[in-house]
Amino acid sequence: MAEQTYLHDVRELYERFPYPSPSPAIDPVLDTALGLDLACEDLDGAEILDAGCGTGHRLVGLALTFPDSRFVGIDFSARSLAVAAELVEKHGCHNVTLRHRAIGAEPLGHRFDAIISTGVLHHLPDPPAGVTWLAGHLHPDGVLYAWLYHAYGEFHRMLDRRLVRLLAGSTGDGEQLIQDLELAFSTSRYGTRSSRAGDSDIADPAATADAYLNPLVAAYDFETAGTLLGRDFAWAVATGVNWPGGAGTVDVADWTGAGYGAISAAQLFPQPHPRAAFLALPPRDQLRCLELALRPTGFSVVCGADPALSRCTDRIRQGAARANLVATGGDR
Ligand SMILES: C[S@@+](CC[C@H](N)C(=O)[O-])C[C@H]1O[C@@H](n2cnc3c(N)ncnc32)[C@H](O)[C@@H]1O
């Protein structure tokens, strides 16, 4: 019953504040397409599900980047999907189909080569059940690419959100409270331009509502993400991290920063002594240091069964071999 109430409230929020933008005039967002391209080898001809595609700004970014792949976008917010339909039409994306469906409801009756789900799992009433539902829609060699809030960088925002929701419980006006508490939300919080062309540091109503009014939010560190994904997948790799004003890719096999957007040991630890100590650690502990030092606001993770590694770039294969999030745990 509580689960149904949460589902209803989350859907209502996105009906009121379609994310990332109610406007099809806003440019497609390319961060997910870039992240997927850096994680997967060859997606030509692939069938890809965007689970919780919202207003489709990232879905259209994907469809334009991978014109030879076919995309299905699902969301339970009809208003968000209406924006997505306009955006798909505007950009002439013949490789996109939209369906009004809920994650966790009736299966779609189709399996995919890849599933994208950015900013969605942490709003589900039962995230592990949502992961299982998604895993059931993948071919055996299919990959899931998800983006999650990171618990360390989001700690204070989560407290502010709780405060707003508590106060709003008596006044009923969360938007006014956000203004009064001066909690305007910067779209550069996750290091990437969110939705609006040209300006990167503005208070965006959809992002602000998503940040402070969402009835249901979880946040993960690398270890708890491994637990979340480990029931259904053999391996999971932290592929990218976001922090206010910045974003980078993770390569546990090479900390020189040589790869595209790769985070270097020198960036994490400018001082020689901590840097040498970091470089001497095993890869899993290096990942742990990375999240403790950077305190990311979000991160992307790629996961799958063993055959899915054949679809991935060498960086992801190295990550799965050396610092599999599913295999973490132990002496934390
Ligand atoms: C923060 S938005 C992310 C939108 C898009 N993936 C992006 O990254 O720009 C979360 C989206 O997930 C959708 N969503 C949340 N729970 C869902 C569920 N159980 N089934 C389908 N969609 C859901 C919401 O309607 C909303 O559009």
Structural domains counted in the chain: 1
Nearest to 293 by CA among 321, 322, 320, 263: 263
Nearest to 103 by CA among 128, 85, 71: 128
β-pairing verdict for 70-75 and 47-51: parallel
How far apart are the CA of 194 and the centre of ligand 1, in A?
Answer: 15
Query: Two tokens at 242?
Result: 């976001």
269 lines ligand 1 (CB under 6 A): no
Task: Please identify, by atom number, the ligand 1 atom nearest to the C-alpha of residue 19.
Answer: 2
- 114 falls within a domain: yes
How far is 263 from 8, CA to CA, in rounded Å? 39
pLDDT value at residue 105: 96
How far is 146 from 25, CA to CA, in rounded Å? 26
pTM (predicted TM-score): 0.94
192 lines ligand 1 (CB under 6 A): no
Task: Please identify, by atom number, the ligand 1 atom nearest to the C-alpha of residue 104.
Answer: 19
- 205 falls within a domain: yes
Give yes or no for a contact between 140 and 115, defined as CB atoms under 8 angstroms apart: no
> Is 9 buried (19+), middle (13-18) or exposed (0-12) by CB count in 10 A?
middle
Could you list the residue range(s) of the whole structural domain that residue 29 is in?
Answer: 1-326
Task: Please identify, by atom number, the ligand 1 atom nearest to the C-alpha of residue 195.
Answer: 9
Task: Please identify, by atom number, the ligand 1 atom nearest to the C-alpha of residue 18.
Answer: 27
How far is 150 from 79, CA to CA, in rounded Å? 28
123 lines ligand 1 (CB under 6 A): yes
- 30 falls within a domain: yes
99-127 pLDDT, tens digit each: 999 999 999 999 999 999 999 999 999 99
228-270 pLDDT, tens digit each: 999 999 999 999 999 998 999 999 999 999 999 999 999 999 9
212 lines ligand 1 (CB under 6 A): no
Please tell me whether residue 40 adopts helix, strand or coil conformation: strand
- 331 falls within a domain: no
| CATH number of the domain encompassing residue 280 | 3.40.50.150
- 332 falls within a domain: no
